[in-house]
Structure 1
Amino acid sequence: MPNPLTLVGTYGSPYSLKMRAVLRYRQIPFRWAIQGTADEQGIPRPKVAIIPVLGFPDASGEVTEVMVDSTPQIARLETMFRERSLKPTDAGLHFLDLLIEDYADEWVTKMMYHYRWAPRESVERARKLLPVWPGLHATDERLERMGEYIVDRQVSRRALVGSTETNAPVIESSYIRLLEILHRHLEGNDFLLGDRPGSSDFGLYGQLSQLVIIEPPSTDLCILHGPR
């Protein structure tokens, strides 16, 4: 068995769970390292400090190369591993697969950000939950400080991401429309574009892993408009 890859991420990151699901589906050996814990010690820092970070080992097993951004990560894996490919063989379907993946990464993520950092109940939930994943053994005081830091930073970025009072009706109606489309589609299909998953399936999965499980308001909407 080749030396495993390393994936650095966290449970509250939709892109981290997207890539973890890709590696699992493709049965590519990898090690899951939670950001901010001892698991990521010794892994080179990427030039851009975002997650997930995908680390590639040398012959000795040491991670010597890293890259970020889930779409290029998936493309890189396609050049390295042939089994259980995500790339459709039909050129038209391949284009649609990339288009829907981009929709998930760039638009559905605004829904995720909005429902996490706009409703008061979601903000309070995130304040308590997000610091625990990298800080399981931290003191209560440290967890509280971490929670305050995360909330202050993320809420202040809402306008930058596009979650504003002006945009809220568009984001929320778009989320409901997505749920209704998926509910109808999944009645007769297992995947978005055929008989096996593509990048688009994993792109939507990453965002929905937060929207329909973690965030209370968007979870309630999912149950109402698209439980499939």
Structure 2
Amino acid sequence: MSTNPPELQWLDGDVPKAMGFEDTYFSKAGGLAETRHVFLAGNQLPARFETTKTFTIAEFGFGTGLNFLTALAASRAVENPPELTFVSFELFPMTTDQLAKALNAFPELSDLAGELVEKWQPRTGWMQVNVAGANLVLGVGDARELIKDLKPETQAADTSSIVIPLVDAWFLDGFSPARNPELWDAGLLRSAADLTAPEGTLATYTAAGWVRRNLVAAGFLIEKKSGFAGKREMVIGRKA
């Protein structure tokens, strides 16, 4: 089925802004550095990659794929890379040209980005694609509905379910909660907690009070940390 690509404005030449949400996909101060500060360091990565044979990351908001590619590059850089599963959701997937233009801003990731762009054929529903040995599981549509299709390997699942390992780390990266409250919904975060491994972690750039309360209600222990590039606070957490 066809998808609805986002309407974009390009700031400073290469920073995409989603007009429908009035928000950028990554920081103008540096998208790669932001991902490393918030989502990798916030989930104690890449150190955790060094101590496991498999690792599963899940994310709300695939966007440009920058978080996926940054995590993949970090996992491949350790001595014995784990088998990486990356589960993500996106309501408005970029076109191939939009994705390629956005990722051109990160030459350090060019090889991995080229493979992702080459295989990029988003369609409504679920798709799975291998990118440099990682299993990318992408749900295109409303995350609040699609997450119901996911079942952890520890539970019995019917043939219509998408079976995934328990999630070790969450990247909560939807657009601003004020502009995109659906991806910070209390029910969605409870569903995320249900898919999370014991002591699984999360990180997000936002420290909005109602988001923190929803995370606590979902079953996560959270704390504030210093944000990226002058942003006062961000939030990390782990499953209680």
Greater fraction strand: 2
Q: Mark yes or no: TM-score above 0.5.
A: no
What range is the shorter-chain TM-score in? under 0.3
The higher relative CO (CA closer than 8 Å, separation ≥ 6) is in: 1
**Rg (Cα) greater in structure:** 1
Greater fraction helix: 1
